[in-house]
Structure 1
Amino acid sequence: MGHVHEIVNIQTDLATGIPGEAGDYARLKVAAVGKYSPADIHWAKIRLSSDGPRRVVAHASLDVNGTPVNAEAAAETYHEAVDQLHERLRHQLVELGR
């Protein structure tokens, strides 16, 4: 992999009750998948919400040079949900580059 593709525009949307640091963590983890992308990622949108009292849902949409890449994960904590989201995005970007 020669060129590392950065994600310049990352937007986060946090549902009521999701702490601000969850958004910061999600931005860091989603930005980190840029190195697996086969092309420039024009923007990323991340939404963190809750699905019941003990479940956090993390959803991301990326625009990889015009190709949409979407992933979602749910877990008991925002760390776990975002970590799973990161892995799903990484996998999709690696597959996209094959």
Structure 2
Amino acid sequence: MKHAGQLEIANVVVEAGDQTAREYAHDRIAPLARFAPEPTTYAHVRIVTASPRTIEVRVNLDVNGTPVVAQAQAETATEAIDAVRDHLHSQLTKMHP
């Protein structure tokens, strides 16, 4: 599988969540550039409390002008971030010709 040559997404903006969740989200989402078929210019991550026992994470990537969007819910921010990361990884690998 050929990729755009990027090791990480340089511009990752993480909204909400505590400092630990923001750092974890950045560390899990930034390396997804390795799987994109074209340059990934930015990632926007939003962490919200959907209910008292549910955290929702939404991520928008810009892969050379093509939006790639995913969201996941889980009991913890870590679980939701991992789930959305796995979903994005799958989407990015399917984008390859």
TM-score (norm 2): 0.92
- Structure 1 residue 68 and structure 2 residue 70: aligned? no
Range 63-72 or range 29-38, more displaced: 29-38
Distance between the aligned counterparts of 2:39 and 2:3, measured in 1? 13
Query: Residue 89 of structure 1: SS of its match in structure 2?
Result: helix
Q: Deviations over 1:33-89 (max 9, x none)?
A: 111100100111000001111111000000000000000000000110000010000
Query: Residue 61 of structure 1: SS of its match in structure 2?
Result: strand
Aligned residue pairs total 95
- Structure 1 residue 26 and structure 2 residue 25: aligned? yes
TM-score (norm 1): 0.91
In the TM superposition, residue 19 of structure 1 has moved relative to its aligned partner by 1.5
Identical aligned residues as a percent: 33
Q: Answer yes or no: is the 8 Å Cα contact 2:3–2:35 preserved in 1.
A: no
Distance between the aligned counterparts of 2:5 and 2:59, measured in 1? 20
Distance between the aligned counterparts of 1:2 and 1:38, measured in 2? 4
Amino acid at match of 1:25: Y
Distance between the aligned counterparts of 2:69 and 2:4, measured in 1? 23
Query: Residue 59 of structure 1: SS of its match in structure 2?
Result: strand
In the TM superposition, residue 8 of structure 1 has moved relative to its aligned partner by 1.1
Amino acid at match of 1:88: H
Distance between the aligned counterparts of 1:26 and 1:3, measured in 2? 22
